[in-house]
Amino acid sequence: MPQPPNPYDFLPAVPQFTVRSGDLADGAALGTPQLSGIFGAGGDDVSPELSWEGFPAETKSFAVTCYDPDAPTASGFWHWAVFDIPASVTSLPTDAGKNPEPAPGAVTLKNDGGLNRFLGAAPPPGHGPHRYIFTVHAVGVESLDIPDSSTPAFLGFNLFSTTLGRAHLTGIHENKG
């Protein structure tokens, strides 16, 4: 089955910066902790540690998202969406995603599983490899001023005009059934 394109390829180009993780290597398989326990994939729904640097000097806040473009839907699947992370915060520790406020003032939206937290990978058996794109967005405003009842897609709409730069790490997981 062919994979959908990376959705970030269709957004306006912005400067790239660096994101690293001690829990996730770009292009490598997700670890068991990053798989879903809530949805029966044998994991723990633990968000990976993320740290970033080299973002634009004008950055006023950050947003962090995790998106699976390969989900068997017409809209992919949002696993995590956090915004209004202060510009002074340049890392999130392992399992920060269990906290609805993973940094002071930050807001976590409900993911596509309806949970106000990070949701690990749980693709359908036999659907092939899925990409989990962890993105740090450098934002040009201190607060996006959107309701905490918003969807991750609405967050993305608001990031469209306020993103100054992006950094990505992509993990892979396949449920071979």
Global model pTM greater than 0.95: yes
Domains of the chain as residue ranges with CATH = 18-80+105-173 (3.90.280.10)
| Chain center to CA of 156 | 11
Considering the chain, what percentage of its residues have pLDDT values greater than 90?
96
Task: Quick: pLDDT tens for 136-152.
Answer: 999 999 999 999 999 99
Measure the CA–CA gap between 40 and 20, rounded to whole angstroms. Answer: 28
Q: Give me the percent of the chain exceeding a pLDDT of 70.
A: 99
- Segment holding 66, helix H or strand E: strand 61-68
Please give the pLDDT value at position 1. 67
**pLDDT above 90 for 177:** no
Which DSSP category does 109 fall into?
Answer: P
User: Average pLDDT over the chain, rounded to whole?
Assistant: 96
**Token digits of residue 156:** 């993305």
Cα angle: 145, vertex 65, 87; to 5 degrees: 55
Beta partners for residue 165, in sequence order: 138
**Tens-digit pLDDT profile for residues 40-58:** 999 999 999 999 999 999 9
